Amino acid sequence: MFILLSLDNMEFMTSISYKVLASSPKSTADSMSIYAVGLDGKDIKLQGAAAKVTGLKSLKLKSLSVSGAYEATSRVSVGSEVLGLIGIGAGITSHSKAREVGGAIGRAFNDVKTINIDIPVASAEIAIALLEGIAIVQYDYNHYKSGEKKPASLKTVNLITSKTVSKSDLNRINVLSIALNQTRDLVNAPGNDLYPAKMAEIVKSQSKIPGVTVEIWDEKKLAKEKCTGILSVGQGSVRGPRLVKITYSPSKAKAHLALVGKGITFDTGGISLKPPLGILGMKYDMAGAATIAQATFAIAKLGLPIKVTAFLCIAENMPSGSATRPTDVITFRNGKTVEVTNTDAEGRLVMADGLVLASELKPDLMIDLATLTGGARVALGNRYTGLMGEDKAVVAIEKAASVAGELVWHMPLAEELFDLLKSDIADMVNSRLGNPAGSMLVGGLFLREFVGLASPKGQERLNWAHLDFATAANNDLAPYGYAVKGATGSMVRTLVTVAEQLATKQKK
């Protein structure tokens, strides 16, 4: 039985109230005031309102192991009150720094019902980013742990500042935190409970938002629509594949954004079976589909005047007597043929279907998101998402990611590497075994072949970007900054920001 909690039961996602106040409220038994300490050379220096707290000024902070180092947190007793301290080093100098400080506060003090944060913020934008950081880290995946599950203590976050933050800004923080945690819940769910049909069912159950419709394509519909990539990958499993099409159509849409997400609910590698160590973590291989679904829902909840069409390409890649064999040839909806040389390069096969379908709609911007290649981690480590595509789309993603505070790195679509995709019997192979050169880039080149042209007789492709976040979708190390352990929810905020910027650009 699937036990993923519904939105209404998600304690962390529904119960925290974020407020901006001009003055600090009266302290209570279940509240804590949080102040900032920084560094003046090697000395600890009270920052902002902290310098006015008499009892705090008299403490020998170094002897209490208080640090002014960036993100360092501590608690001190001042009379009968316990105060929280957050290190801000030389100061909060950027939006990302503000989110990181917020992340440190959110982790260290979420055992308190109310926190009153009175630290220096230079602008309303910095204040919003600080609150975002707190919200982003409010997540704990404990659905499968036995014993009593204690609800989260943190209920109210008050930021004390003279800067003006609107109700819509605070609402956006709540909407994004819900989207992040819904994404994380899906990605963290084990493959025995989250399979294609179940994932499709959950996404549909979350779609009761004005302007949003959802279609679920089963095997018969996929065959009728010639979605042969998804069918080929999914045919080895007893749990059949699905395509979920989410459409958000506001009445006065300014532009059309198409999203395509990889949704491999578990990836064994198929007949090209992964080694035991490599197979661990493959429940995360549907992070792209989960992310674009929740980003679409967030865009709809925010009421952005942008039409969004999202294609979730969902399958389970299993070895069996019915599984696709290496050297099988697939003919795709757009007529291209692919020789499957590696059934463990399956993500690009399901994504090809989604890209063809999205291309037929001629959107203003098309973005695909996938945990596509191990080569992304080899090239970029654990935190940067690989970004490839057409110039205009790349610029749009880079701008949005910078605003959202997420790390992307523009990688080339090196034309000479396309030779690695040549097949003796078909248009392409899906992987060149034995030659790992530029494997992330080769994945992008493969996907580009399924992006349609902007006009029937033209040469330019549609405005398209490919994001390979096999790097940042899952954090198997300790939490850091405003990243949680496990499924991170990476790229949700960037995609929402893309939609916001697209709407603003079209208005002009």
CATH number at residue 87: 3.40.220.10
In the chain, the percentage of residues whose pLDDT exceeds 70 is 97
Instruction: Specify the pairing of strand 385-389 against strand 408-410.
Output: parallel
Q: Write the CATH number for 416.
A: 3.40.630.10
Write the DSSP symbol of residue 255.
-
Q: What are the pLDDT digits (tens) for 355-404?
A: 999 999 999 999 999 999 999 999 999 999 999 999 999 999 999 999 99
What is the tens place of the pLDDT at every residue in 101-113? 999 999 999 999 9
Considering the domain architecture, whether residues 144 and 227 belong to the same structural domain is answered as no
Question: Exposed, middle or buried, 74 (CB in 10 Å: 0-12/13-18/19+)?
Answer: middle
- pLDDT greater than 50 at residue 13: no
CA distances from 72 to 85, 100, 104 (A): 8, 11, 8
Asked if the structure places residue 245 within a domain, the reply is: no
Instruction: With respect to residue 293, please indicate whether it lies within any of the assigned structural domains.
Output: yes
Catalytic residues: 274, 348
Same domain, 234 and 147: no
Report the distance separating Cα 403 and Cα 164, nearest Å: 19
Contact 329, 426 (CB under 8 A): yes
Mind listing the pLDDT tens digit for each residue in 135-145?
Answer: 999 999 988 98
Q: Are residues 132 and 224 in the same domain?
A: no
How long a stretch of residues is the chain? Answer: 508
Contact of 344 with 372, CB cutoff 8 Å: no
Taking only the tens place, the pLDDT of each residue in 326-358 is 999 999 999 999 999 999 999 999 999 999 999
The answer as to whether 102 is a domain residue is: yes
pTM for the structure as a whole: 0.95
Q: What is the mean pLDDT of the chain?
A: 94
d(CA 401, CA 414) in angstroms, rounded, equals: 23
Which tens digit of pLDDT belongs to each residue from 424-451?
Answer: 999 999 999 999 999 999 999 999 999 9
Q: Please give the DSSP secondary-structure letter assigned to residue 452.
A: P
Looking at the 3D structure of the chain, how many domains does it have?
A: 2
Domain limits at 423?
178-192+217-238+250-507
Alpha helices in 159-242 (DSSP H): 167-188, 196-205, 219-224, 228-234
More confident residue, 416 or 27: 416
Give yes or no: residues 156 and 230 share one domain: no
Helix/strand/coil for 35: strand
- pLDDT, tens digit, 9 for 90 and up, residues 223-244: 999 999 999 999 999 999 999 9
Q: Which SS3 state, helix, strand or coil, does residue 158 take? A: strand
146 and 25 in one domain? yes
Half-sphere exposure of 429 (CA within 13 A, CB side): 20
| Per-residue pLDDT tens digits for 258-270 | 999 999 999 999 9
> In terms of domains, do 155 and 275 share one?
no
Q: Over the stretch 15-46, which tens digit does the pLDDT of each residue have?
A: 799 999 999 999 899 999 999 999 988 889 99
The reply to whether 148 and 184 lie within a common domain is: no
What percent of the chain stands above pLDDT 90? Answer: 90
Phi, psi of 205 (to 5 degrees): -65, -20
Question: 21 and 52 share a domain?
Answer: yes
Residues 274 and 148 grouped into a single domain = no
Which of residues 10 and 192 earns the better pLDDT score? 192
Question: Count of CB atoms within 10 A of residue 69's CB?
Answer: 13
pLDDT at 7 over 80: no
Q: Is the pLDDT of residue 2 over 60?
A: no
The answer to whether residue 476 scores a pLDDT higher than 70 is yes
Task: Determine, yes or no, domain membership for 2.
Answer: no
The answer, yes or no, to whether residue 506 has pLDDT greater than 80, is no
Asked if residue 208 is part of any domain, the answer here is no
Report the pLDDT value the prediction gives residue 457, as an integer from 0 to 100. 83
Q: Which residues is 317 bridged to in the sheet?
A: 267
Inside any domain, residue 173: no
Q: Is residue 408 part of a domain?
A: yes
Sign of CA dihedral 134, 137, 139, 142: negative
Residue position matching structure tokens 């989207």: 179
Q: Is 392 found in the same domain as 259?
A: yes
- Residues 362 and 279 occupy one common structural domain: yes
3-state secondary structure of 117: strand
**Residue 199 lies inside a defined structural domain of this protein:** no
Answer yes or no: do 157 and 257 share one domain: no
Query: 386, 315, 378, 385: which is closest to 352 by C-alpha?
Result: 315
